[in-house]
Amino acid sequence: MVEEILRWVRKGLDVCVAFYGHPGVFVTPSHEALRRARKEGFQATMLPAVSAEDCLFADLGIDPGERGSQSYEATSFLLHRPTFDRAVPLVLWQVSVVGQPGGATEPNRAGLLELAGYLERFYGPDHEVVLYVASPYPVGEPSVERIRLHDLALARVTAMSTLYVPPTGSLSWDQDTAGRLGIAADAGY
Ligand SMILES: C[S@@+](CC[C@H](N)C(=O)[O-])C[C@H]1O[C@@H](n2cnc3c(N)ncnc32)[C@H](O)[C@@H]1O
């Protein structure tokens, strides 16, 4: 894909490449094509657009300003085990192919089972999660399927599904810092 883009750039044409959603969110070729084009002396720019996560915030009514937001590629999340906070909303991308490198047409049930098992350690098996698919049409409704974490491996997951794990418990509060800054516990942070 990158070579195909650059082939036209090198011919001296004004090239516009469209990716769905935000062109720079979970899209390796866009970043790579820009990097290489610039290295070869061409002017190249990425314009932002609406990502699946932006749609999720709107459709599920989540404001990352309230508790923050954690967002990971599902396989990377399982393999790297980043420190995350279960009191903060968690978004996991590419869940249908979790644990399965390369293109796949069917959901990877073994990977989903692994993911569910890992998340259950933090949230418990009964925690309600959302399999979310934004509508591709301006007038259509999104698909919002609420399931128990324990049922994730058998759920209807598509290549477009993003997993939203709602927060549980309270955010931590550092009283020393709050004291130094003069911020009261009920100040709204
Ligand atoms: C290769 S990424 C592309 C993301 C895209 N560039 C964006 O900005 O939304 C594919 C992943 O994005 C998410 N995704 C794509 N379309 C979606 C949709 N309609 N609803 C929810 N998530 C979607 C899924 O997690 C899917 O596995």
Tokens of 76: 């990377």
Q: What is the mean pLDDT of residues 152-181?
A: 96
Using alpha carbons, select from 52, 46, 20 the residue that is nearest to residue 33: 46
- pLDDT tier at 150 (50, 70, 90 boundaries)? very high
Residue type at 45? T
Q: Cα of 162 to ligand 1 centre, how many Å? A: 7
Each residue of 84-93: pLDDT tens digit? Answer: 999 999 999 9
Please report the pLDDT score of residue 104 as a whole number: 73
148 within 8 A of 125, measured Cβ to Cβ: yes
In this prediction, residues 74-85 reach a mean pLDDT of: 98
Ligand 1 surroundings by CB, under 6 angstroms: 19-22, 25-27, 51-52, 93-94, 132-134, 159-160, 162
Beta bridge pairs of residue 90: 70, 165
Rounded Cα–Cα distance for residues 36 and 72 (Å): 26
Judging by beta carbons within 10 Å of its beta carbon (0-12, 13-18, 19+), is residue 97 exposed, middle or buried?
Answer: buried
pLDDT tens digits, 7-61: 999 999 999 999 999 999 999 999 999 999 999 999 999 999 999 999 999 999 9
Q: Is 90 exceeded by the pLDDT of residue 102?
A: no
* Dist. CA 172 → ligand 1 center (Å): 31
- Report d(CA 37, CA 24) in Å as an integer: 15
Give the H or E element holding residue 71.
strand 70-73
